[in-house]
A and B are shown apart, each in its own frame.
Chain A
Amino acid sequence: MSPTTIAKAINEGLRAALERDPKVLIMGEDVGKLGGVFRVTDGLQKDFGEDRVIDTPLAESGIVGTAIGLALRGYRPVCEIQFDGFIYPAYDQIVSQLAKMANRSRGKIALPVVVRVPFGGGIGAVEHHSESPEAYFAHTAGLRVVSCSNPADAYWMIRQAIAADDPVLFFEPKRRYWEKGDLDAAAGPQLGLHQARVVRPGEHVTVAAYGPMVKTALDAAVAAEPDGTSLEVVDLRTLSPLDLETLEASVERTRRLVVVHEAPVFLGLGAEIAARITERCFYALEAPVLRVGGFHAPYPASRLEDDYLPDLDRVLEAVDRSLAF
């Protein structure tokens, strides 16, 4: 067991996958010599060669489209989309081709393609570098969508995603890439890819989050403690499918739920979770499920992003509203 960062943990997960299975490929813009703009693929091309760690032309539809072709030939490509806002040129290939091929072929074709997406804001970037497009993909049948929040999960989840026979959209919390945590690669994964985790037990309100907002939720829980408010924090980890059982069990105890994400609230993951938890826990709930997230406005210029992004105070404001019911 040693402390490592999320970026390094994904790097080690990719390395392990490349070592284990000669069919695993890495492809994307600047993933080779440079090691990716976030260095997540650092050193992989040097060790596995240009045929397996592929610097692609600057065309995202081409990255995913050729990954589909490689998967049809029996490969397991892991694509990197350099930034969240650059995934849209690949949208058709992901939604109309990657997601639908298994169904179209009546199960004769499997496309074990992973699309890695550094997502979310908080890094002071220019436009298109801070978005949270996960709901578009969670809305699409045929895709699996997950997001990691700590180094150990990052390592195991990327390996589980690569091993899956279905396409997986893998959202990485880019502003947390350098956060440290313990990783024991010899111990094996504690959870399946599609299981949520209670990361902090509590009594009064459940706060569900994923990716970069898990840390924010945990910070909120620490801040609420002196006031005698005990928050239970659930790291959703999996966005499609959702692990509603874990969430339901938590809400049955706390009877209150706040869902937090950076993505806009309107039609975000929180909307679906609110609807489903309300159906499942109607008689247990003491308050409506509340949502904290981005506004129905384009991601702002970076000097405003602290106002746009949910933070500790916005989470606690929602917690207070929930408790006031």
Chain B
Amino acid sequence: MTDTPVGAPPQLVQLLTPEGERVRHPEYAFEPDPQTLRSLYRDLVLVRRVDTEATALQRQGELGIWASLLGQEAAQIGSGRALRPQDYVFPTYREHGVAWCRDVDPVTLLGLYRGANLGGWDPNAHNFHLYTIVIGAQTLHATGYAMGIQRDGAVGTGDGTRDAAVIAYFGDGATSQGDVNESFVYASVYNAPVVFFCQNNQWAISEPNERQSRIPLYQRARGFGFPGVRVDGNDVLAVYAVTKAALDRARRGEGPMFIEAFTYRMGAHTTSDDPTRYRISAEVEEWKHKDPIARLKALLSRGGMAGADFFDEVERDADDLAAHVRQSCLSMPDPDPDDMFAFVYHEPQPLVQEERSWFAEYQAGFAPADAAEPARDDLAGTTQGGAR
């Protein structure tokens, strides 16, 4: 890792330009076959389509809020596809693309945003932890999990199915959090197998990078004692290559690494946000030219690796997936009020039991005592002598 002189443009690992041209990098390489390229393209399109559908569902009142990944598809698919099954993911609340790579049904993600649950999937079934909403808190969990991997002897054995790594996702704003900085310290001094994957989407709600750091974020890592690298976060090939190298390194027992995926939040922070209040549209327009999907489509088309049939098929698959997401969202049952009490503790707790029984009894008090009793309207009618 070389330092960037002050004032010089930071280095950026790129393997696919915004125009869809392949370029070489001295340290990182990825030469996927056409089928892999097509499947990466498919993933990018599908997660964007799910995201669009979720935003629409929020606008129609079916979700309370949605945190869009628009523009960050390559950062998430590229890194998510670099994982092995035994690796473990600690996401923020925006990692819908990574969830896709871990076989979490996108519908499951909606429960949190619909208010039906607080995180509906089984983390251990997917090695994908629940979404964490407090900014940066999950980086410590990731580091602790990685310390557990070390204690299990599941690092540096050379056994590709045994050695495991952890990846912690967070954003540019989170780099200011104490927990994130503490996780860097812990990971560094214990040499824990964790990859810190920062999606620098340039904005922490309304606050630009300049409010978080005076130096490029990836350069922070050096001060903590491990390497940092900045990658073009809209280049799925480069993200894959860099993440794979970092995960391999961690699994070999060579310690943590920091990846800054340089990308852009094309939409609002969440559906509750209004970015027109704090950023100019010219910036958004500029980033539209760096779109992660368009550049891969250009590569596939120009290289004769995919034609209209393929692109149409992906669109159809995306529409089918969106329909599944919509339908399942609308038919998602409301939670049982008893759920408030059911999982607070693993072992019986008398206060929770007492309040749980009281509430059940209280609610039962609202049930009609006798179904045959006339409804209020009917009574009103009779007292008024049939004046209706």
Taking Cβ atoms with an 8 Å cutoff, the residues of A that contact B are 25, 51-52, 56-57, 59, 61-62, 64-75, 89, 92-93, 96-97, 100-110, 141-142, 144, 164-166, 194, 240-242
Contact B147 A65 (CB under 8 A): no
In this complex, which of B120, B139, B149, B344 has the most chain A Cβ atoms within 10 angstroms of its Cβ?
A: B344
By a CB distance below 8 angstroms, the chain A residues around B352 are: 141
Contact A69 B147 (CB under 8 A): yes
In angstroms, Cα B149 to Cα A96, docked, is 24
By a CB distance below 8 angstroms, the chain B residues around A66 are: 140-141, 143-144, 147, 183, 186
In angstroms, Cα B348 to Cα A164, docked, is 11
B129 at the interface (CB under 8 A from A): yes
Residue of A nearest to B339 (CB): A106
In angstroms, Cα B192 to Cα A51, docked, is 12
In angstroms, Cα B44 to Cα A193, docked, is 52
By a CB distance below 8 angstroms, the chain B residues around A70 are: 144-145, 147-148, 151
Q: A70-B147, A72-B148, A75-B148 are in contact. Are A62 and B346 (CB under 8 A)?
A: no
- What are the interface flags for B117-154 relative to A under an 8 Å C-beta threshold, 1 for contact and 0 otherwise? 11110111000011010100101111111111111100
In angstroms, Cα B352 to Cα A166, docked, is 14
Contact A103 B143 (CB under 8 A): no
Q: A66-B186, A69-B146, A70-B148 are in contact. Are A105 and B130 (CB under 8 A)?
A: yes
Contact B145 A73 (CB under 8 A): yes
Q: Sample 19 A-B pairs with CB under 8 A, ordered by A number.
A: A57-B185, A59-B182, A61-B140, A61-B178, A62-B140, A65-B179, A72-B145, A72-B148, A73-B152, A75-B148, A75-B151, A105-B123, A106-B118, A108-B124, A141-B344, A165-B346, A166-B346, A194-B350, A241-B349
By a CB distance below 8 angstroms, the chain A residues around B347 are: 164-166
Consensus secondary structure, chain B interface: helix
Contact A72 B129 (CB under 8 A): yes
Q: A70-B147, A110-B346 are in contact. Are A92 and B137 (CB under 8 A)?
A: yes
Partner of B344, one of A65, A108, A142: A142
Contact A62 B183 (CB under 8 A): yes
In this complex, which of B118, B130, B150, B343 has the most chain A Cβ atoms within 10 angstroms of its Cβ?
A: B343
- What are the interface flags for B338-379 relative to A under an 8 Å C-beta threshold, 1 for contact and 0 otherwise? 010011111101111000000000000000000000000000
B189 at the interface (CB under 8 A from A): yes
Contact B134 A97 (CB under 8 A): yes
By a CB distance below 8 angstroms, the chain A residues around B139 are: 65
Contact A69 B346 (CB under 8 A): no
> Other CB < 8 Å A-B pairs besides A103-B343, A107-B346, A141-B344, 18 of them?
A51-B150, A52-B151, A59-B178, A62-B143, A62-B182, A65-B179, A66-B143, A66-B183, A69-B142, A72-B144, A73-B145, A73-B152, A105-B119, A106-B339, A108-B122, A166-B347, A194-B350, A242-B351
Contact A93 B140 (CB under 8 A): yes
